[in-house]
């Protein structure tokens, strides 16, 4: 009977959001949310999404039929080009298969499920995540019974990448391990490897015959430049790796609740590649069918309209620059205010880090002080969502940090 079911712990982010909502202070600041906010702290519907929505709804043939098992073909093929580059040899050589998924989470899940069935059965095959990582990685891989472990990533001292420790750990991991990598705008730290560091990471992964699994949830949202944010994945594909990609359109299209995403499996160049990919595709279709039958249509239709229309695509790039630009402005403003106040410590990491999140280095005690004294809400690990800062509250936040650090 269900009496044996133990109480699960509350999701930490969910508890934080509930506490924020209960707070009645007019100055309260929400830095927990993992969603973009405009300068008025409001959700932002991208202008290009509004245009695509109008176009979609003026189509007299629009209906609510099921999509195919692998999703909307115009969407998945445009998604391949977006992440791999339009002239990618992997696409030309038919070495890629792609399925539309329930956003990035569903793509990570489909990849993990596929690997749990077909990757090195009966041998060592632990999935390694950066320490720290998006906590859902542990749950998703754990749910399909793949063992999980971590490699060092964040240096508390420099608040940047602990590159030597990361490389050492990848070198000592058992051969053939699954290495999960954030393609850009690492969540939760905002710390990404440089291009030279990515090259070294690729070398170690090659020499240890590890299997790279890229999670890309922030392409275009990080730097505002789609090619730059896709660089690491494109480099690995160029180097001939066989790999998985989990792609989310939640942040870069602001389509959070519409669950638009894509899973890609890329195989290495060889005369067998096309037949390998056909077999992989056939198995992925069966897994997808048993899990969700077929993916949801609306978000993929919106993204597909934009990705396949040069004018809408150009507008999307402008919208991406608006979001990433505002976030970079807030990074600069926060760092400048803290340095102006002479807040103890160094604050260059605020502008060195990239994307939605920043790992401030604030301790749990300081985080709690900020919550209790200043009504500022962030996760206990000191992560702040840069999107929660705006021209109206950044000074208030800097002063609150200054006070918490000095006490």
| CB closer to ligand PMP out of 254 and 361 | 254
Nearer to ligand PMP, 143 or 372 (CB): 143
Applying CB under 6 A, among 36, 119, 134, 151 the residue interacting with ligand PMP is 134
Instruction: Identify whether 94 is a catalytic site residue.
Output: no
Among 261, 296, 361, 388, binds ligand PMP (CB under 6 A): 261
**Active site (annotated) includes residue 59:** no
Of residues 166 through 185, those in contact with ligand PMP by CB under 6 A are 182
Shortest separation between residue 219's beta carbon and ligand PMP, angstroms = 12
Active-site choice (134, 198, 316, 347): 134
Span from 101-109, 189-197, 264-272, 309-317 in contact with ligand PMP (CB under 6 A): 101-109
Cα 388 from Cα 42, distance rounded (Å): 9
User: Closest Cα partner for 251 from 374, 400, 64, 103?
Assistant: 103
CB of 224 to ligand PMP, least distance (A): 18
Residue 313 φ then ψ, to 5° = -60, -45
DSSP string, 158-221: TSSB-HHHHHHHHHHSPTT-EEEEESSS-TTT-----HHHHHHHHHHHHHTT-EEEEEES-TTT
Which residue out of 159, 215, 229, 369 is catalytically annotated? Answer: 215
Q: Is 34 in the site for ligand PMP (CB under 6 A)?
A: yes
What is the distance of C-alpha 379 from the center of its chain? 18
Tell me: does residue 248 bind ligand PMP (CB under 6 A): yes
- Name which position in 76, 88, 103, 385 contacts ligand PMP (CB under 6 A): 103
- Residue 355 found at the interface with ligand PMP (CB under 6 A): no
Angle (CA) 137 138 140, round 5°: 65
Stretch that binds ligand PMP, among 21-29, 102-110, 277-285, 396-404 (CB under 6 A): 102-110
Chosen residue from 32, 71, 85, 104 binding ligand PMP by CB under 6 A: 104
Rounded CA-CA distance 16/20 in Å is 6
Q: Nearest distance from residue 379's CB to ligand PMP, in Å? A: 13
CA dihedral (179, 180, 184, 187) in degrees, to 10, reads: -130
Report the greatest alpha carbon distance in the chain. Answer: 66
- Is residue 29 classed as helix, strand or coil in its secondary structure? strand
Asked if residues 274 and 89 have their Cβ atoms less than 8 Å apart, the reply is no
Q: Is 215 known to be catalytic?
A: yes
Mark out the alpha helices in 254-374 (DSSP H runs): 273-292, 298-307, 310-341, 348-352, 364-374
Is residue 335 a contact point for ligand PMP (CB under 6 A)?
A: no
From 55-63, 99-107, 269-277, 363-371, give the range in contact with ligand PMP by CB under 6 A: 99-107
**Residue 187 Cβ vs ligand PMP, minimum distance, rounded to whole Å:** 4
CB atoms within 10 A of CB 45: 13
> Does residue number 37 form part of the binding site for ligand PMP (CB under 6 A)?
no
Q: Which is nearer to ligand PMP, 217 or 370 (CB)?
A: 217
Sign of CA dihedral 58, 60, 63, 68: negative
Other Cβ atoms within 10 Å of 358 Cβ, number: 30
- Which member of 215, 229, 258, 315 binds ligand PMP (CB under 6 A)? 215
Q: Which residues are catalytic?
A: 134, 215, 251
């Amino acid at each position: 009977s269900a009496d044996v079911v133990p109480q699960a712990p509350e999701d930490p982010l969910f508890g934080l959001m509930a506490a924020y909502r209960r707070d009645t202070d007019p100055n309260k600041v929400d830095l927990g949310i993992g969603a973009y906010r405009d300068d008025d702290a409001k959700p932002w519907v991208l202008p290009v999404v509004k245009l695509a929505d109008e176009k979609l709804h003026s189509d007299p043939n629009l209906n609510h039929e099921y999509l195919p098992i692998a999703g909307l073909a115009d969407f998945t093929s445009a998604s391949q080009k977006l992440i791999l580059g339009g002239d990618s040899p992997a696409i030309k050589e038919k070495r890629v298969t792609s399925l539309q998924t329930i956003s990035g989470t569903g793509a990570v899940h489909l990849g993990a499920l596929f690997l749990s069935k077909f990757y090195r059965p009966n041998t060592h095959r632990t999935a390694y995540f950066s320490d720290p990582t998006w906590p859902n990685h542990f749950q998703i891989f754990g749910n399909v019974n793949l063992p999980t472990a971590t490699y060092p990533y964040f240096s508390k001292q420099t608040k940047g990448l602990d590159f030597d420790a990361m490389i050492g750990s990848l070198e000592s991991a058992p051969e053939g391990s699954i290495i999960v990598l954030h393609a850009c705008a690492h969540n939760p730290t905002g710390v990404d490897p440089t291009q030279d560091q990515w090259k070294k990471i690729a070398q170690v992964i090659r020499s240890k015959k590890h299997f790279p699994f890229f999670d890309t949830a922030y392409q275009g949202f990080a730097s505002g430049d789609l090619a730059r944010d896709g660089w690491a994945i494109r480099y690995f594909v160029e180097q001939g790796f066989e790999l998985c990609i989990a792609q989310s359109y939640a942040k870069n299209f602001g389509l959070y609740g519409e669950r638009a995403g894509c899973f890609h499996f890329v195989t290495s160049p060889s005369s067998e590649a096309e037949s390998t990919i056909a077999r992989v595709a056939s198995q992925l279709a069966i897994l997808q069918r048993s899990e969700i039958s077929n993916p949801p249509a609306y978000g993929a239709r919106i993204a597909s309209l934009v990705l396949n229309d040069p004018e809408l695509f150009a507008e999307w790039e402008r919208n991406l620059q608006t979001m990433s630009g505002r976030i970079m402005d807030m990074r600069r403003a926060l760092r400048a205010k803290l340095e102006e106040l002479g807040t103890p410590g160094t604050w260059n990491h605020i502008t060195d880090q990239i994307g939605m999140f920043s790992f401030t280095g604030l301790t749990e005690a300081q985080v709690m002080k900020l919550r209790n004294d200043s009504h500022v809400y962030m996760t206990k690990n000191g992560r702040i969502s840069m999107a929660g800062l705006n021209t109206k509250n950044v000074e208030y936040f800097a002063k609150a940090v200054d006070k918490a650090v000095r006490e």
